[in-house]
Structure 1
Amino acid sequence: MACKRIPLAHGRLHSLRRLRASVVFVRTVAVLAVSLQAAGAFAELPEPTDLVDQQHCMFCHTSDAPFLAPSFHQIAEHYRDTPNASTMLEDKLRHGGKAHWGDMAMPLPEDRGGPLSAGDARTLVRWVLSQ
């Protein structure tokens, strides 16, 4: 009788090991998928050089250190978890706005290089927030 129980116990043990391995595999895949999605969400986009030059962004901002205005990295960090930050920043780029980072307000588009389309504002904001 003892011999007959061993294959049954071995079969259950094998099934439990397979189930545990499956659970570990599914968890690993889920963690990897979330990690890749998060990395993609904050992956730095290439600089839209023509727009940055046209709008004279570098007159006041730098990539990583405050100058006359906050750095792009500071802006990205500040607004990373703010709902609707993109919309608010796009509007500020297109119409200027009051100072949020000291005494200097965002200049009007006419003072920066001309009007900015909604698409161009979206491109600049996405780039800044990817820093």
Structure 2
Amino acid sequence: MPRVPTPVACVPVNPSFHRRASKTLFHTAAVCAAALYTVAAHAQLVEPTELVDQQHCMFCHTSDAPFLAPSFHQIAERYRDKPNANVMLEDKLRHGGKAHWGDMAMPLPADRGGPLSAEDARTLVQWVLSQ
């Protein structure tokens, strides 16, 4: 016959303790998960200041209020979750484009600081969409 180990000591634990501990642990995990998701989903990238200055972005845009063109926050809100919006925005930065926000079109690169590489356009678009 197999030997069954006997417990050395059994300490009775109040069942309500387990329920409270489980609720607290679940609540803590949920809060942490929500915080991490929020930070990851809306992590604002560091401004590529040299590119922003070179392309004279601030001549028409501001961070949070419309000026001559929409704010970076408005652009991010409109395009952040649209598929392939980054491709359209990168092309608009590199070649200029028609107005989507009123009467003013995106100026040609020659009119705002010179040609822009695909990599630099991608950097600017990623930064704007992170606003």
- TM-score, with normalisation over the residues of structure 2? 0.75
1:110 paired to 2:131: no
Equivalent residue number for residue 90 of structure 2: 90
- Cα distance in structure 2, aligned partners of 1:91 and 1:63: 21
Mark the CA change 1:87 to 1:35 in structure 2 (over 3 Å): closer, same or farther: farther
Q: Secondary structure at the match of 1:66?
A: coil
Equivalent residue number for residue 100 of structure 2: 100
- Cα distance in structure 1, aligned partners of 2:30 and 2:92: 38
Deviation at 1:29, TM superposition (A): 3.4
Deviation at 1:86, TM superposition (A): 1.3
Mark the CA change 1:26 to 1:87 in structure 2 (over 3 Å): closer, same or farther: farther
How many residue pairs get matched? 120
- Cα distance in structure 1, aligned partners of 2:99 and 2:71: 14
Equivalent residue number for residue 29 of structure 1: 29
Deviation at 1:45, TM superposition (A): 1.4
Deviation at 1:54, TM superposition (A): 0.3
Amino acid at match of 1:114: G
Which segment is superposed worse, 28-37 or 120-129?
A: 28-37
Q: Secondary structure at the match of 2:94?
A: helix
Equivalent residue number for residue 130 of structure 1: 130
Equivalent residue number for residue 81 of structure 2: 81
Deviation at 1:20, TM superposition (A): 9.8
Mark the CA change 1:70 to 1:39 in structure 2 (over 3 Å): closer, same or farther: same
- Cα distance in structure 2, aligned partners of 1:88 and 1:52: 19
Deviation at 1:26, TM superposition (A): 6.3
- CA-based RMSD: 2.3
Equivalent residue number for residue 72 of structure 1: 72
**Structure with more of its chain in helix, by fraction:** 1
Percentage of pairs with the same residue = 75
Which segment is superposed worse, 111-120 or 33-42?
A: 33-42
5+ residue gaps, structure 1: 1-9
5+ residue gaps, structure 2: 1-11
- Cα distance in structure 2, aligned partners of 1:49 and 1:63: 13
- TM-score, with normalisation over the residues of structure 1? 0.75
Q: Secondary structure at the match of 1:36?
A: helix
- Cα distance in structure 2, aligned partners of 1:68 and 1:83: 26
